[in-house]
Amino acid sequence: MSTQVVLLGHGGGGRLMAELIERVFLPRLGSPELARGDDSAVLPYPGGRLAFTTDSFVVEPVEFPGGDIGRLAVCGTVNDLAAGGAVPRHLSAAFILEEGLPLDLLGRLVASMAATAREAGVRIVAGDTKVVPHGKADRIFITTSGVGPIPDGIAVSGRNARPGDAVLCSGALGDHGMAVMVAREGLGFAGCIESDVAPLNGLVQTLHALGPALHVLRDPTRGGAAAALNEIAAQSGVAIRIEEGAVPVRDPVRVACELLGMDPLYVANEGKMLAIVAPEAADAALAAWRAHPLGREAVRLGEVLEGPAGRVTVRTAFGTHRVLDRPLGEQLPRIC
Amino acid sequence: MSTQVVLLGHGGGGRLMAELIERVFLPRLGSPELARGDDSAVLPYPGGRLAFTTDSFVVEPVEFPGGDIGRLAVCGTVNDLAAGGAVPRHLSAAFILEEGLPLDLLGRLVASMAATAREAGVRIVAGDTKVVPHGKADRIFITTSGVGPIPDGIAVSGRNARPGDAVLCSGALGDHGMAVMVAREGLGFAGCIESDVAPLNGLVQTLHALGPALHVLRDPTRGGAAAALNEIAAQSGVAIRIEEGAVPVRDPVRVACELLGMDPLYVANEGKMLAIVAPEAADAALAAWRAHPLGREAVRLGEVLEGPAGRVTVRTAFGTHRVLDRPLGEQLPRIC
């Protein structure tokens, strides 16, 4: 890390962020749970394993087509717990408010959190509020944490991908990132692109029946599917190959990405899940997802290969291959 | 609440904050754990009860005599769990960083968190990092959450104070708030006043042997002992009377408070605990605290009275009484 200061890209879910974690956080905190690099920690408690996770949300604008920072803050933590194989139960919410924030906006955002929590079947049981002077924050930042039990027989981790496994994706990619981008920049796609932000615990739990055939779950947020697949390939020491023709992208998102020179595989999602399952379980998993309202467009995206370890490739319609690099930072800051 | 926007005082731990919680958060989130108003939520899990809590830290300056925002973030959550009667075990840490923050400062603060976690016997097992552009945050905000089991036989809550109970305080009041104030304003007390920020779980666990005689635990942070005692009096529907002569305040803090026109009972602490115990357990509790390095100056501060419900009074050396009102906001913004 040649820089001496924090850069925007350090928060982007890409290589810069990985460097920050590896060079600043891990050597000092030295906790095996952090070093695993999964979306939530697995804690051994007397009554069974608990998942525990946290995320701060700083999205700008705070309200965008399809959602707002409140819905995002609940879904982000619910989905991280779900990606840990857990049944999300209890959330905390800590607010950092900028002096002068309109109370009616705050009320709307809290109502949105409450509605999303009901939708997800979780409860917000602990909270905190801090206020900083005008100009020392940007309206509202929300940090949620969550806990939930991991059912017996479920053991997912980014380390569990095995050669031959199938890579599944629960639906179209890039909606959240492009919706926020369009709202922030006032681009002309308003009305066409909505964030996919949604609680995915119900969708994910349809895969719990697979038991040990369910190897990896990850929600492709910052850095998009490209960052998530690269993380998994590195954690598991495998290669992953996806089929370009299988990547689900809605037309308005595809057009917006082309105009802006972006690749939907690198754009953040907040309502999609990636699953890696044993090959013999792939059809059952896909069928289970497609029967769920949030998984109707689920696809088999590709497969896990022996190596080279950490390499993710895309096979094009022409049969050629290109490397899908880990992004450096995030193309769109403050996306979540 | 006549204002239409968020004020600094809404984050101060006083009446304005209580109004914000009662009018904006509780009606929308409607969770019984939040409505209890304790420092941590009590969750029923198969292997026993778990405490769960969260706090954001926005203190300015981020380094001050006796501590820094990293130590504060670990102690704040450890102490909230301890005040819930729990044994703190696992913490999460979510960072909101301002672009341009020096990496060596970040490294120092993370090292301080790690050292404090070791001191407290807890592990930081989950984390998150977001970066916002320069000018959209103030250097670094840290949100910690924590979980830990509540031993069988312990049932503390702000609702459990009973007439006749003894009110204990683990040591001198006002050190943290005045240390931050002096550092921030460049007052001439440098070197005399240090923050008391410390993990109190070891101290508090010496009271677990009291079992059901241990009624209330609360760490008097924002709004100081005055806010904490008023909250307890309101939650329990009792009055509390403290003896002015018993209030422990170090000389430099007393002098600084006098010069600045502040009352140490309203100044924040980060290394002190209040306990309310059955009268027959008071001597044993005080002895247990005084035998612990962080409780050597523990005192019996006063007692719980039948009523009027919610009233806190101070009996002066002359035998007169004054009402110790709940503060409106916080005299010192961004104290934690």
Q: How close B255 gets to chain A, by Cα (Å)?
A: 28
Percent of chain B whose pLDDT exceeds 70: 99
Calculate the average pLDDT of chain B.
94
Beta strand ranges found along chain A (DSSP E): 41-45, 48-57, 63-64, 67-68, 90-98, 123-132, 140-149, 166-169, 214-218, 239-243, 274-277, 299-305, 312-315, 321-323
Identify the CA nearest to A178 among candidates A331, A56, A51. Answer: A331
**Looking at the complex, does the CB of residue A137 fall below 8 Å from at least one CB of chain B?**
yes
Higher pLDDT, A36 or B60: B60
Residues of chain B found within 8 Å of residue A147, distances taken between Cβ atoms: 43, 50, 52, 147
**Is B19 an 8 Å CB contact of chain A?**
no
Q: Pick from A293, A178, A274: which is nearest to A229 by CA?
A: A274
Residue A149's DSSP bridge partners are: A50
Query: Average pLDDT in the B119-134 region?
Result: 96
Nearest residue, CB atoms, A101 vs list B5, B21, B132 = B5
CB contact at 8 A, A246 and A230: no
ipTM: 0.96
- The single-letter DSSP state of residue A227 is H
pTM, rounded to two decimals: 0.96
Residue A220: the pLDDT is 96
Chain A residues with CB inside 8 Å of B336's CB? 130
Residues from chain A that touch B106, judged by Cβ atoms under 8 A, are 6, 24
Cα B116 to Cα B120, B125, B292, distances in angstroms: 6, 14, 18
For chain B, give the secondary structure using H, E and C. Answer: CCCCECCHHHHCCCHHHHHHHHHHHHHHHCCHHHHHCCCCEEEEECCEEEEEEEEEECCCCCEECCEEHHHHHHHHHHHHHHHCCCCCCEEEEEEEEECCCEHHHHHHHHHHHHHHHHHHCCEEEEEEEEEECCCCCCCEEEEEEEEEECCCCCCCCCCCCCCCCEEEECCCCCHHHHHHHHHHHCCCCCCCCCCCCCCCHHHHHCCHHHHHHEEEEECCCCCHHHHHHHHHHHHHCCEEEEEHHHCCCCHHHHHHHHHHCCCHHHCCCCCCCEEEECHHHHHHHHHHHHCCCCCCCCEEEEEEECCCCCCEEEECCCCCEEECCCCCCCCCCCCC
A27 — contact with chain B (CB < 8 Å)?
no
* Mean predicted confidence (pLDDT) in B5-26: 90
Contact call for B110 and A7, based on CB within 8 A: no
**Confidence at residue A259, expressed as pLDDT on a 0 to 100 scale:** 87
Tokens of B135: 């000018």
Residues of A within 8 A of B125 (CB-CB) are 31, 33-34, 41, 43, 52
Tell me which chain A residues have a C-beta less than 8 angstroms from the C-beta of B89. 43
Q: In chain A, positions 145-204, which contact chain B (CB-CB < 8 Å)?
A: 145, 147, 149
Q: How many CB pairs under 8 A join A and B?
A: 277
A21 contact residues in B (CB cutoff 8 A)? 127, 129
Report the pLDDT value the prediction gives residue B260, as an integer from 0 to 100.
86
In A245-321, alpha helices (H)? 251-260, 282-290
Q: What is the pLDDT of residue A260?
A: 86
Answer whether B179's CB lies under 8 Å from B267's CB.
Answer: no
Residues B336, A133: Cα–Cα separation, whole Å = 14
Give B315 to chain A, closest Cα distance, Å. Answer: 33
Of residues B24, B92, B102, nearest to A145 (C-beta): B92
DSSP string, A61-114: SSEETTEEHHHHHHHHHHHHHHHTT----EEEEEEEEETT-BHHHHHHHHHHHH
| Pairwise CB contact (< 8 Å): B123 & A94 | no
Task: Say yes or no for a CB contact (<8 Å) between B1 and A103.
Answer: yes
The answer to whether B56 contacts chain A (CB < 8 Å) is yes
Q: How many Å apart are CA B293 and CA B291, to the nearest integer?
A: 7
Q: CATH number for the A166-323 domain, one of 3.40.50.720, 3.90.650.10, 3.30.720.110, 2.60.120.10?
A: 3.90.650.10
Could you report the per-residue pLDDT of B281-291, keeping only the tens digit for each? 999 999 999 99
Q: Which stretches in chain A have pLDDT values below 70?
A: 1-2, 189-190
Residue with structure tokens 């906001």?
A: B329
Task: Give CA A295 to chain center in angstroms.
Answer: 16
Judged by CB atoms closer than 8 Å, whether chains meet at B145 and A20 is answered as no
Cα dihedral sign, A334-A335-B5-B10? negative
CA dist., res. B80 & res. B158, Å (int): 13
Residue B55 in this model has a pLDDT that exceeds 80:
yes
Tell me which residue in B5, B40, B133 faces A126 most closely, judged by beta carbons: B40
Q: Do A92 and B53 touch (CB under 8 A)?
A: yes
Q: How confident is the model at residue B236 (pLDDT cuts 50, 70, 90)?
A: very high
Chain B residues within 8 A of A101 when measuring between CB atoms: 5-6
* Set of chain A residues whose Cβ sits within 8 Å of the Cβ of B93: 54
Comparison of pLDDT for B312 and A327, the residue scoring more = B312
Closest chain A residue to B102 measured between Cα atoms?
A5
Structure-block tokens of residue A300: 């088999």
Identify from A29, A49, A81, A89 which residue to disrupt to test chain B contact, counting B C-beta atoms within 10 A and taking the largest count. A29
Closest residue to B34, CB basis, from A127, A149, A334 = A127
| CATH 3.90.650.10 residue spans of chain B | 166-323
pLDDT at B2 over 70: no
Query: What pLDDT score does A1 carry?
Result: 52
B252-291: pLDDT as tens digits: 999 999 988 899 999 999 999 999 999 999 999 999 999 9
Q: Which CATH architecture has domain B45-150?
A: 2-Layer Sandwich (3.30)
Chain B contact set for A6 (CB, 8 A): 97-103, 106, 131
A24 to chain B: closest CA residue: B107
Determine, for residues B6 and A125 on separate chains, whether the beta-carbon distance falls below 8 Å.
Answer: no
Burial label for B307, CB within 10 Å (0-12, 13-18, 19+), is exposed
Q: Tell me, what's the pLDDT at B307? A: 85
pLDDT, mean of residues B87-98: 97
Give B-chain residues touching A45 at CB under 8 angstroms.
45, 47, 50, 149
Where does chain A hold its CATH 3.30.1330.10 domain(s)? 45-150
A 93-122 near B (Cβ less than 8 A): 93-104, 106-107, 110-111, 113-114, 117
A96, A107, A127 member nearest B58 (Cβ): A96
List, in order, residues 6 or more apart from B186 with CB less than 8 Å away. none
Q: Please count the residues of chain B.
A: 336
Residue B292 has pLDDT above 60, yes or no: yes
Pairing of strands A274-277, B41-45: unpaired
Strands A48-57, A140-149: pairing kind: antiparallel
In angstroms, the CA B190 to CA B179 distance is: 8
Rg (CA), chain A: 19
Distances in whole angstroms, Cα of residue B72 to Cα of each of B55, B180, B317:
10, 12, 35
A71 touches chain B (CB under 8 A): no
State the Rg of chain B over Cα: 19
Task: Report the pLDDT value the prediction gives residue B186, as an integer from 0 to 100.
Answer: 79
According to the model, what pLDDT value does residue B79 have?
A: 98
Cβ neighbours of B132 in A, within 8 Å: 11, 58, 138, 333-334
Name the residue in chain B with its Cα closest to that of A105.
B5
Q: Which residues are paired to A167 by β-bridges?
A: A276, A302
